[in-house]
Structure 1
């Protein structure tokens, strides 16, 4: 097996991998992340993307509505500042995200947005309620209507409504006009433009009725101040609830970020001092008190105790640590006082890399997003066109100007593409966060979609389905106690560097056996070795080694050895003073739970394959024990690559070693065991942090749940618009059906976004 790293996330993770028909990034390309404000719907993200891609030197750009970020690949000729200025010029304030940015900052963003929107909603609500009561109360309670207009008068009531509505639009609702009107003037209307047009038109029309009624026929003298105010208030409510839900969607990352403590006790020049974790430097000595969280990655220099690494591996059993062992930031110390030397800080720690991995996956676009982008690109202009058509048709065929105006405003308000823009990214955000909690890190967000389509999963054997190192799995003796046979054998093998010898020595030491000195140790390549221990002549090796020296084989031991061979183990025989006395079975033990993961994949309707460099017979024996559908043995690294390519579409490869990297890259989805090598992790689309292959089934179930959730969101987002736009236009009126009012349209539009985000939040309980 290839060498393993102590730190499961020790590789840099910002280099993305591409295979198949995925776009290939230039080797000289730069990558910039922009934080963008003011985006509210899918048309916003599409506009920002097109503006960035239009810049000379920009190779690719992906904008995510849920995270408020743009990931841009560009040449050195384009600066990050130029990218930010381009986006800002489109009406969306943007700034490059610093490489050393505070990891808490992004995750506080939605909370701050939610607080601002809550305040604006409450102000709007306080101002809108009197307008609503003044105008609609009279329709509900006719006596109130007569009393108001008889005692106060129509004109004063309308003036009061106009003033209150103007305040609503000018202060809590000004965001719609500040962003929407400039976008409209640039001939690039978006969601805010629809709200600004709808609410603004209702306000202006009502103001003309109030201040200059003579300009309109008497039948058209109706005011709609309550519609303008309620539209803004309901949409602010929807955005507040949406921002709160987005904050919950990012809770997984927030919990990861908050695992690291803020302060640590450092030992400098023999003096202890409590300092901020941000001020720690590699080489610092840190005191770790019992029950305290490890601040950053390091290596223990003093003490021994147990560390709870469940946040990293998912394993509930604490891990024993002593001098020289690594510790990871965010893990929890047990009851011992320890000292460790800092080896990594800030963005270089395992925890920071895990957070960055999840963030990168959350910012990715799935292939299914392309359909949404194509539709929303033309959606808002089409809606404005439909509103104009509705106004014209109602003016021609309807009862007058006022109903025509109401229908047009209702179309503008009901058709907001917010839900469409959120349908995919919010599900990705929640799904990848849930994956991190379950120990599955998606290095690329689009792996979610490909993994959901998996039909065949291939495993590397050594180190993935097995433990990766030989161990003593069985032994048999003839005329000698087991411990005595093992003690003598291990004494001779202690002088050998062969992996099988190491397994025998370890087995003896695990039994607490004391090993005597061996002399005259002579190795015979391909056979075994001979030695003298405590005056006894030992011959240790395979069956041929004993036969060639004329030793009579013990039938019972040979029968046991043949049975072991049939099950994939390697038999090692011991002869003492010319007599065959013991046989040992050495094998790479199957990982606990490997059989259950194969069964789980079969339960998901997935074919399983095992690819191994071992002989076909050995590989077949392991495959039979695990219930694997197809076993491919005797495979070199290039053979693994060929085998994976022949699997075709829907292939998944799971591995951990350097020699697995080509196969991981060639598969539709590569999944690396987190305890494996850096190269394997870099080549994979997803990483199982704890090193347990059972995470493969978890990853597939989660990806299927995410894709099912996305399909649900897209259905409701599109069905909502497809069903309600004709109703708002008045398609049901000729048949005696209802016409949708602008207020109800605003409420339905706000609820559609909240529904999409709330549906995505169900993934926090997946799979």
Structure 2
């Protein structure tokens, strides 16, 4: 089990299945041990932009036996609870996104005000329009200064994510964000740089587009991890309903019963045979292999009516049926399918828009009066292309 978010590997020769669990922010990878090693698999997960932590390599009881069977024989092992480590990780992630959004807002609000508000206040408009160098104004310099840390410091996480995604030939949301904000930011840099070196060119920067996009996306990320945190708390409370102890049945090589022992329910391993006696909760998810009874599944269904269980029927314990959580809904699968083609399509549309307007301007396909006095046909076409590129990030 590796701790990473919703995206999984594509099916390869060594990774046949990778269902994700959005509630626990986990994914389970089934792979071919003859083709890939643990270290190679973890490295692949790290390269995809996620944090990889190998846990539950063997069952907990097997690990305890290995520790206690050392030559010195002086070690004693016991199961120690997580102590809220996963919850602490979620809380830290919430704090990180909150701080990023807060700092982004601190820089973005002045950029927005100088671009959209101060220009309509006579006294402030005069200050914003004051020339610094040639046609470069105070307002443009302020916006450039404030938008830069938002783009490259606060928004650094998007560059890292897009780099890791492009290395593996995939277009994630990080790639979309970087391309959209880069188009707006670097066009603005070109515009103000030309204004600073020309006594006639009037800049038309759009620094506010880049900063506001990053701020809104960080707000969405913050709300997302906040909602996931609340869902995880609810799941943890349901998991606390599982019993503390279980009765483990021991079998010989011919699968004859030779004994039973009481163990901590957290030490149950895959393929264990557990005895469920009357008036005792089911210790873990599994299926019935002998006998018949009725089980109260109200913790899952909300209905107190007993459900008949016979050989071959599945039973649900306090583990909350994680396989069901990991399965993607059909609408999510459809969205993932569409996203593979959405980014290339938007890039083509953006380039086509820019090219069409440039050719129309070059061959006088529209009135010259449509071009602002501070632009030429190429710059007007570039703005239309950037508008298409930025609009699709807004839609996402």
Which TM-score band applies after superposition, normalised by the shorter structure?
Answer: 0.5 to 0.7
Corresponding position: 1:86 with 2:44: yes
**Cα 1:375–1:81 shift into 2, 3 Å:** same
1:168 corresponds, among 121, 145, 150, to 150
1: CA distance, partners of 2:161 / 2:301: 46
Corresponding position: 1:36 with 2:4: yes
Aligned position for 1:157: 139
**Cα 1:136–1:282 shift into 2, 3 Å:** closer
Aligned position for 1:200: 182
Aligned position for 1:409: 386
**Cα 1:393–1:219 shift into 2, 3 Å:** farther
Q: Are 1:124 and 1:168, in contact at CA under 8 Å, matched by a contact in 2?
A: yes
1: CA distance, partners of 2:95 / 2:231: 16
Tell me by how many angstroms 1:73 deviates: 1.9
Residues 87-139 of structure 1: per-residue CA shift (max 9 Å, x gap):
22233333334366839555555443322111100010011111111122234
2: CA distance, partners of 1:177 / 1:69: 23
Residues 275-319 of structure 1: per-residue CA shift (max 9 Å, x gap):
xxxxx9659xxxxxxxxxx9x97xxxxxxxxxxx97589688xxx
Q: Are 2:239 and 2:318, in contact at CA under 8 Å, matched by a contact in 1?
A: no
1: CA distance, partners of 2:171 / 2:202: 29
Correspondence 1:276-675 to 2 at 5 A = 353-357=317-321, 359-367=322-330, 369-397=332-360, 399=371, 400-416=377-393
Corresponding position: 1:74 with 2:42: no
**Cα 1:240–1:249 shift into 2, 3 Å:** same
2:96 corresponds, among 95, 98, 116, to 116
**Cα 1:195–1:368 shift into 2, 3 Å:** closer
Q: Are 2:171 and 2:340, in contact at CA under 8 Å, matched by a contact in 1?
A: no
Q: Are 1:198 and 1:410, in contact at CA under 8 Å, matched by a contact in 2?
A: no
Pairs aligned (count): 305
Rg (Cα) greater in structure: 1
| Helix, strand or coil at the partner of 1:415 | helix
Tell me by how many angstroms 1:249 deviates: 3.4
Residues 37-74 of structure 1: per-residue CA shift (max 9 Å, x gap):
5x6xxxxx3xx422xx22x3333233456654332222
Q: Are 1:137 and 1:145, in contact at CA under 8 Å, matched by a contact in 2?
A: no
1:229 corresponds, among 211, 232, 243, to 211
Corresponding position: 1:144 with 2:102: no
Tell me by how many angstroms 1:227 deviates: 1.4
Q: Are 2:241 and 2:318, in contact at CA under 8 Å, matched by a contact in 1?
A: no
1:125 corresponds, among 86, 105, 109, to 105
Correspondence 1:246-261 to 2 at 5 A = 246-257=228-239
Residues 340-380 of structure 1: per-residue CA shift (max 9 Å, x gap):
xxxxxxxxxx99x42251x3211113455443333222222
1: CA distance, partners of 2:299 / 2:174: 42
**Cα 1:402–1:233 shift into 2, 3 Å:** farther
Tell me by how many angstroms 1:174 deviates: 1.0
**Cα 1:179–1:103 shift into 2, 3 Å:** same
1: CA distance, partners of 2:129 / 2:98: 34
Q: Are 1:62 and 1:365, in contact at CA under 8 Å, matched by a contact in 2?
A: yes
Aligned position for 1:49: 9
| TM-score relative to the length of structure 1 | 0.35
Tell me by how many angstroms 1:233 deviates: 0.7
**Cα 1:162–1:214 shift into 2, 3 Å:** closer
Tell me by how many angstroms 1:202 deviates: 1.9
Tell me by how many angstroms 1:244 deviates: 1.7
| Helix, strand or coil at the partner of 2:319 | helix
| TM-score relative to the length of structure 2 | 0.63
1: CA distance, partners of 2:183 / 2:300: 55
2: CA distance, partners of 1:68 / 1:412: 31
Q: Are 1:165 and 1:229, in contact at CA under 8 Å, matched by a contact in 2?
A: yes
Q: Are 2:97 and 2:218, in contact at CA under 8 Å, matched by a contact in 1?
A: yes
| Helix, strand or coil at the partner of 1:34 | coil
1: CA distance, partners of 2:155 / 2:37: 35
| Helix, strand or coil at the partner of 2:328 | coil
Tell me by how many angstroms 1:412 deviates: 3.0
Tell me by how many angstroms 1:411 deviates: 3.0
1: CA distance, partners of 2:22 / 2:354: 32
Tell me by how many angstroms 1:204 deviates: 1.9
Q: Are 1:206 and 1:222, in contact at CA under 8 Å, matched by a contact in 2?
A: yes
1: CA distance, partners of 2:389 / 2:146: 23
Aligned position for 1:135: 115
Q: Are 2:119 and 2:128, in contact at CA under 8 Å, matched by a contact in 1?
A: no
| Helix, strand or coil at the partner of 1:394 | helix
Residues 404-450 of structure 1: per-residue CA shift (max 9 Å, x gap):
3343334334435xxxxxxxxxxxxxxxxxxxxxxxxxxxxxxxxxx
1: CA distance, partners of 2:146 / 2:204: 17
Q: Are 1:137 and 1:144, in contact at CA under 8 Å, matched by a contact in 2?
A: no
**Cα 1:140–1:190 shift into 2, 3 Å:** farther
| Helix, strand or coil at the partner of 1:35 | coil
